[in-house]
Amino acid sequence: MRNAYLWSPRFSQMNDPMEAFYELGGAGDQAVDRLLQTAGKSTADMYEMAKTVIDRLCLVSFSSTPVDLPLWAYYGGNFAGVCLEFDTDRLFVGDLQGESLVPVTYAETALPPLQLWELTSMEAVTGRLSRKRIEWAHEKEWRVLTGAEGPRHYIDEALVRVHLGPRIDKDHARQIRALFDGRPTEVVQGRVNGFSLGFELVQPPTAATRYTRVGSGTLDLDALLWSRDEFEAFLTVPVEQLVEELRRIAGQPNVDAVADCMVSVTRPALLVQVEQKLRNDRIVYERRYYDSRLQRLP
């Protein structure tokens, strides 16, 4: 999924009482209990520890569509809130680095209880926490399963678009537009036309020359391109195009420094290492790979 949509970003109890349902326990627990008895332990102790860890996990829920009307009713303040549209290729550069989006499975029955041998399998735990009843399938939900609750910061360019609900308060809308003036994020306003919900542009993304910067954008071309012959041997385009790409990267609002540029020794690609500064002042590191034509690689 390229773009993901998030309504009412908050960390609280969910609407569905069957949300994130799981059970613990297996048929072989009695045999294990007999083995643990001499040590004064039991499977119940192990399950209790597992439950403590699982219950502390945080779910971040996204959808693959911004126009599902019930979602605006459930999570978007009854059409008076906002929906945030993220580029998933860029979302995981920040505090969600190392995490991944998992599609929600919709079914009429729950998965069987987690057994002892499954407690070390994140895939088994994720399978339980990303399963919902079939009645919710219209949400087209994807989830990130991450650590303890709390804010997660992202680089500015990850937030592609802010969708304002058609019933949003005018003062609230003005505040949101002001907040994103200076960022590479466009703002669109919802409009109801008969039985249809559409969105129109009310504020384009800020031009790169007007970004409100977070990082310093340090770029030392002499240090980065010291081995020009090596770059010329790898690239099938002029080195000047690489220079322009490095300048473009340095101009992005969160980039603190373009730290390194080299021909990768692990894959046939050009590697650019970037330091990104989040809005909580945390520095995260990103690797960008390019082919010989300077096309981005996964």
* pLDDT at residue number 288: 97
For residue 218, give the DSSP letter: B
C-beta of residue 116 within 8 angstroms of C-beta of residue 44 = no
What SS3 class is residue 109?
A: coil
Structure tokens at 281: 């002042």
C-beta of residue 87 within 8 angstroms of C-beta of residue 3 = yes
Distance CA(153)–CA(281), nearest Å, equals 10
φ/ψ of residue 77, rounded to 5: 60, 40
* pLDDT at residue number 114: 92
Q: Which residues of the chain have pLDDT under 70?
A: 8-15
* pLDDT at residue number 7: 74
C-beta of residue 22 within 8 angstroms of C-beta of residue 124 = no
Q: Residue length, the chain?
A: 298
φ/ψ of residue 41, rounded to 5: -120, 170
Other CB atoms within a 10 A radius of the CB of residue 173 amount to 18
Distances (CA, A) of 36 to 33, 118, 122, 270: 5, 18, 25, 54
Pick from 214, 226, 235, 231: nearest CA to 279: 214
* pLDDT at residue number 13: 52
* pLDDT at residue number 21: 86
Distance CA(232)–CA(237), nearest Å, equals 8
* pLDDT at residue number 27: 81
Angle at which helix 29-36 crosses helix 43-55, to 10 degrees, equals: 110
What do you get for the CA distance between the two ends of the chain, in Å? 14
